[in-house]
Structure 1
Amino acid sequence: MQPSTVVGALLFIAHISSGGAEAHRHYQQVLTGNQPGVCRYGRRLECCYGWKKNIKGQCEAQCDHGCRHGECVGPNKCKCFPGYTGKTCNQGGYNLENAGQTGPRIIS
Structure 2
Amino acid sequence: MRFRCVGCDHFSTDVSYLSDLRAYLDDLLRNRERLASMAEADDWAIAEATPSDEEINRLRRLIRRITEQLGHLTDGERQQIQDAAATVRKTRATFLGMPRIHQPLRDLRPERPAH
TM-score over 0.5 (shorter chain): no
Smaller-chain TM-score bracket: under 0.3
Greater RCO structure (CA 8 Å; 6+ sep): 2
**TM-score with structure 2 setting the length:** 0.21
**TM-score with structure 1 setting the length:** 0.22
Structure with the larger strand share: 1
